[in-house]
Chain A
Amino acid sequence: MSNEELKTKITELLPAAAFEEGGEWLTINIEPRDWLPLAQQLRNNDSLYFDYLYCLTCIDWKTHLTMVYHLSSTKHRHNIVIKSKLDRSNPEIETVSHIWRTAEFHEREVYEMFGVNFLNHPDLRLLILPDGWEGKNPLRKDFEDPINMIKL
């Protein structure tokens, strides 16, 4: 499907979706509470069929966090980017690890690096950081580590 067709289709599924212009792929901004139902539609709808979640990450904008999901379809070969704004002091979003199994590891990484709490995640523990790690999340912009970080 072309970007225009995708746009029409997704507006049908989620009228509240806000589209972002200028990117290479169709980019959609959604509210965190809309994510799980939309994700199920994106994965299971035959004309969309986004079965490959190839990138899941988060961006710290200092005022808020943004979750970014890059999806593509192995059947239709179209791509889509989903973004969701999260509250920085209490970031929460539903997990999609039961829809795309790769999300399980990627969400654990975002959990420890950004402190995003994935609701209903089966195994939300530290993955890369050492056991007993306490304190701030390393990839947030206000993270300081005077011993290991050298300012250039």
Chain B
Amino acid sequence: MFEEVGTTTEGDIIVNVGPQHPATHGVLHLVITLNGETIKKVEPHLGYIHRSIEKMCESLSYRQFIYVTSRMDYLSSHINNHACALCVEKGLQVEVPPRAQVIRVLMDELTRIASHELWWGAMAMDLGAFTPFFHAFRERESINDIMEETCGARLTMNYMVPGGVMQDLHPNFQKKVKEFMQLYKRKIHEYDELVTGNVIFQNRMKNVGYLSAEDAVSYGCSGPTARGSGVNCDIRKIYPYEIYDKLEFDEVLETGGDSFARYMVRIREMQQSIRIIEQLIDNIPEGDFQAKTKAVLKLPKGEFYTRVETARGELGVYIVSEGGTTPYRIKFRSPGFSNLSVLDHIARGSKLGDLVAMMGTLDLVIPDIDR
């Protein structure tokens, strides 16, 4: 049933990667058992950036706790806030005005592009290509500028509140987003020319870190990690929220199951996000950007669960309410936590040098794993 855990035979080497290592993009500690250059076991040690966000939220009101969640997966902070706002709205049974729904989806998709841009640049850098990082940040920068104007922040947005969004869009928003899309379409071919089509890159990614569809489901993988193995798991498609069921976009699926398939999923997903933004940017309905809610929110006694698709996968927010102004218990089902658990499984038997290619395509964000 299980392979033996914790056994080392003579000649095995234990190598520590992290907690401070450039390829872990944060404070993740991996204890790797090696036989020669072959990986026998990868054991993640977590908790270097554990802040116990779940405990913290138990003493914060339903308006306050959303701000903490931006600090989980800081690359998808809009989408984290969105999940929490949706969960509180489910409890309150508040109808979100159409304008707010469209703004939320626009922000989500811009965030998804920004997150994938950073992943693309950082992953290529892990593999030894430094140039893509600058290309990725050039485009990501314009998204951050758009966010800054409307939300006032570039990383931890805290823009979505129960009932809608915090304030209306900046007057420049539409113009800037269109400018960004023009820039993006002009530059997108550079991505493929620089990295995707590169033979050295493909050799390092293909047939590395194979994950079967069955294992992806069993290990609770979600997002591009599972879709690279051909698992239909896009929450926007299978359990649509907001206006996603009215939009035209494809769920990106690859069947390879290796690092290259996961890479291609993210690259193609960015184009789908562009497609969604194109449909919405000229059709933002007029009206309120926030529904009227009470100053102090009280959720009825009960349990509420929502899930959304972040850039990394399925984020679930589980609120247990006792009818008070603060949640009794809150659980964040973070995509990174489950995606990390598969690392040991896919890394066994491969070479140490390939580990970086696997970690890169799992797109780990450590604060999201530790919470």
| Residues of A near any B CB (own CB < 8 A) | 22-25, 51-55, 57, 59-60, 68, 70, 74, 77, 98, 100-102, 104-106, 109, 122-123, 127-130, 138-139, 143, 149, 151-152
Contact = CB atoms under 8 A, between A and B. Distances in A.
Nearest to B1: A98
A52 B217 contact: yes
A79 to B, nearest CB: 9
B233 A101 contact: no
B329 interface: yes
Contacts of B52: 138-139
B341 A104 contact: yes
Contacts of B215: 101
B217 A77 contact: no
Nearest to A104: B341
B24 to A, nearest CB: 16
Interface SS, A side: loop
Contacts of A55: 305, 316, 318, 331, 333
A57 B314 contact: no
B300 to A, nearest CB: 10
Interface string B56-90: 00011000000000000000000000000000000
B318 A57 contact: yes
Contacts of A52: 217, 220
A98 B291 CA distance: 46
Given A54-B220, A102-B338, A128-B46, 9 more contacts: A51-B217, A52-B217, A59-B328, A68-B318, A70-B305, A74-B233, A100-B220, A105-B338, A106-B337
Given A54-B314, A128-B370, A138-B52, A102 B47 contact: no
B317 to A, nearest CB: 10
Given A98-B2, A128-B47, A22 B302 contact: yes
